[in-house]
Amino acid sequence: MNKLTQIAVGALFSVSALMSSTAVAEGDVSFNVGYVSEYYFRGILQKNSSASAGADYENGGFYVGTWAADVGDGLEVDLYAGYGFETEAGFSASVGFTGYYYTGEFDDTYEEVNLNLGYSWISLEYSVGEWDGFGTPSDYDFFGLTIDPGNGFYGTFGAFGDEADGEYFEIGYGTTVAELDIGIAAIFSSEELSDQADSAGNPDESQAIIFSIGKSF
């Protein structure tokens, strides 16, 4: 864990301890389950056909949660915490920490600090993190821009930097039917993020259509 991550984790846990000792009963707890035809994260295919489940706690802007998904060789288990707010004028901001951990050999640990800003339809994400790399650590950052007009449609552009490279574009639509969250998305990934190859066996840009279903309670 790099120094920046250590500072962020320490600060978040300090806030967590303070809030848990004063107003735990006022917080909201929620749970979620879901399924996707293909599990993509930031334009990278993780697994075809994946189920997931998670739990979240929120109290006065502070949040903490966990989420797990089937990645074939074991589970991906995410832990996250942070603080966010939104003004009456529609401006929002949050800062947090996310760790991605694996029970098998599918991948190695990622830990990152996340900054999010939003106004009206537009939200920005900037994350800086470290990948353990099975004994060869490397640093990365990620920038994401999402446009969400609030009618179910959205579009996201994301790009990696530092010691990582690649970008993707995602456009999708989500709605609720019979208390189930239903979604469809198209994802276009650059060759650096792609799982596909051309006729010569070289990495090639990829496209995918993803279907999802989930429920929160």
User: Per residue in 150-183, pLDDT tens?
Assistant: 999 999 999 999 999 999 999 999 999 999 999 9
Residues 6+ apart with CB under 8 A from 79: 65, 66, 98, 99, 101
Residues 6+ apart with CB under 8 A from 199: none
Count of domains observed in the chain: 1
Nearest to 5 by CA among 71, 97, 103, 69: 97
Sign of CA dihedral 34, 144, 208, 151: positive
Which pTM was predicted? 0.89
Boundaries of domain holding 97: 3-216
pLDDT in tens, 34-80: 999 999 999 999 999 999 999 999 999 999 999 999 999 999 999 99
pLDDT in tens, 67-81: 999 999 999 999 999
Q: Which pLDDT band holds residue 10 (cuts at 50, 70, 90)? A: low
Structure tokens at 90: 């529609």
Structure tokens at 20: 């848990």
Q: What is the dihedral of CA 148, 150, 152, 158, to 10 degrees?
A: 10
**Domain containing 184 — which CATH number?**
2.40.160.40
Residues 6+ apart with CB under 8 A from 23: 59, 60
